[in-house]
Amino acid sequence: MNTYILLLQCRDQKGIVARVSDFIFKSTGNIITLDQYSSDPQGGYFFMRVEFITENKTCNIGKLKEGLGRVARYFKARARLYEKGIPLSMGVLVSKPDHCLAEILYLYKRGELGVNIPFVISNFEGHGKLVKQHNVPFYFIPANKSNRREKEIISLTKGSVDFLALARYMLVLSPHFIKSFGNDIINIHHGFLPSFKGKNPYQQALNRGVKVIGATSHFVTAGLDTGAIIAQAVEVISHKDDLRALLLKGRNLEKRALSDALRAYIEHRVFRFKDKTVIF
């Protein structure tokens, strides 16, 4: 018995659920969960995530994709099909701050992050011991603002992982890197986007006297801190909190927002649409 996850998005129109359900039924499948959302029933966009099982051994993912392709063409839809239980591969890039890296490795070790981690790349050599304790290959590439060493990083990442997680990687990736890598890159920003972009967001928040701070996990694009938001975490603060207090609270928010975003992505619950996301 195999379990599959189907993601479909297109212009909203009649008959989508019926046609997809019929496709699954004719493929000897049984629907386990189905989530759907329409941005506007009158000409908006439709999003659907379906988990289904099939007991027919001859109905493999290749045949399912072929049949799904016909359904997608009919609705002019984008459709993706994944076999549940086959983990994605996630590369990790990180600089000196270690709290997000430690959280990822902890969840990975406990089996709470259903993903393979083929490597961790860092421009801080001190992370090597922690990473190797978790039996993950570690690569030290001493990148800095003057020499970002992107060719070396691309040579390790391109074609070897499904996506990248930036676990507080403190160098901005160039548009060339993003295009060359070609797959999704997920970042954690230590601020409540779209406010406080760029450097020192906690100092910016302190200067503005905000009453809530947050961290934001988002897709990386060529624009600085402008990619579609996947997850956010927030905490109420007061006038009694100084910069040190904000930094301490912020680290927990960063770990939570990043892990929530990674789980949603790994579990195939994320739809990208224009500058936003739909997450089931």
Is 225 tagged catalytic? yes
- pLDDT value of residue 105: 98
Give the whole-angstrom CA distance, residue 94 versus residue 3: 34
- pLDDT value of residue 194: 84
- pLDDT value of residue 255: 97
- pLDDT value of residue 195: 85
Please name the residues in contact with 218: beta carbons below 8 A apart, sequence gap of 6 or more: 186, 187, 189, 193, 225, 227, 228, 229, 230, 261
- pLDDT value of residue 61: 87
Listed residue (129, 108, 265, 124) closest to 188, CA to CA: 265
Domains of the chain (ranges, CATH numbers): 2-83 (3.30.70.260), 88-279 (3.40.50.170)
Choice among 12, 98, 184, 225 that is catalytic: 225
Q: Are 82 and 111 in contact (CB under 8 A)?
A: no
pTM of the model: 0.93
Q: CA dihedral defined by 262, 264, 267, 273, rounded to 10 degrees?
A: -110
Radius of gyration of the chain (CA): 21
- pLDDT value of residue 242: 94
- pLDDT value of residue 12: 95
The whole-number mean pLDDT for each consecutive block of 10 residues of the chain, a chain of 280 residues, reads 95 95 94 94 92 84 92 97 95 97 97 96 97 97 96 95 97 96 95 84 91 94 92 95 93 97 98 94
